[in-house]
Amino acid sequence: MERLEIMYATMQPSLRGRWTRLIIRETLTVVLYVIFWKYEWVRWSLYIVAPLVLLNLGLLSALTWGVPRKIEKLKAKLEEREMA
């Protein structure tokens, strides 16, 4: 349990940097799509890029908000078992 908390506390600063890089990268991607939209292959590449962006966003969201929730639920279960 303590290991999970230590791992999450260690990851927290790097998550802020990952969110920042994600925002910059996706903003640049949108700008490039707008500029090069006239090329057909760019439009087709959107079918590959969009799911990858959503996957990246989902994983980063899970790390940022999902892991702390899981840690709290696990703490509650462990405390409940210790009381019984």
Domain total in the chain: 1
Q: Is the pLDDT of residue 60 over 80?
A: yes
Report the predicted TM-score, pTM, of the whole model to 2 decimal places.
0.73
Least confident of 1-5, 10-14, 24-28, 56-60: 1-5
Other CB atoms within 10 A of residue 5 CB: 13
Q: For residue 78, what are the domain limits?
A: 2-83
The residue written with tokens 């994600």 in the block is: 22
**Residue 44 pLDDT class (50, 70, 90 cuts):** very high
For residue 9, which of 56, 58, 63 has the smallest C-alpha distance? 63
Q: Is the pLDDT of residue 51 over 90?
A: yes
